[in-house]
Homo-oligomer: A and B are copies of this chain.
């Protein structure tokens, strides 16, 4: 799916660093095993690649953004582990493999999530201290990730999503609000953090911010579409509210056809934001195309 040649550089760096992080001394083996199981469970590493690409876009050394990139992936992974728990979405499978709590039990899964979240901050604060002299903006980058994952970002989106399952199908704005927080906030933070570590003109940061907002929306719509297309094999067919099951999704609210239109619109706005950045935004430009073509 990811065609841009930079992925071939980013992915091994991210995988190697994640393995180094997971192999640190002093972590109890039960905790290490449960954390590693989900980190290794076949994620596409989209978020860490966004961080590294944003760092390169502003002319930074990607090595310096690697702790941020891995931390974002660890935070994303913790959110999936907690999301799958029986009292949350109650999913026994994740990416075709048994969920963390199915393999390790609920209590270990909760602690594996808590561990990954806290460890992500340990990694990032270690980098803040190491780069204090060379990269004084490092804490601002970590703050962006904390806010993206935090009580007005991802955790807010998760609690709103839980609530929505017991409520009337909410409005257009409510759906967008939930997904902006639940998925969009961490994606945006992943991009901005990569750009924030190094000196970055405010207009570049603003363009990346606008891109991230639209890309997060595009990602969520196509993710929802993939679920529906995968489940109902109903490409091109409008899904009615009764078919939307208990999931709170774009196809559930708008049907497949209108959701595709919304994805196209978000992709166009994302590319418009990138156009201000010229050729150095190629990675992100191709990513928009790749993401859009996931469901076509």
Contact = CB atoms under 8 A, between A and B. Distances in A.
A110 B85 contact: yes
B125 A159 contact: no
A105 B87 contact: yes
A205 to B, nearest CB: 15
B117 A118 contact: yes
Interface string A209-243: 00000000000000000000000000000000000
Q: By DSSP majority rule, is chain A's interface helix, strand, loop, or mixed?
A: helix
Contacts of A31: 151, 155-156, 159
Nearest to A177: B28
Contacts of A119: 150-151
Contacts of A64: none
A194 to B, nearest CB: 16
Interface of A: 24-28, 30-32, 35, 78, 82, 85, 87-88, 105-108, 110-111, 113-115, 117-119, 121-122, 125-126, 128-129, 132, 136, 138-140, 142-143, 146-147, 149-152, 154-156, 158-160, 162-163
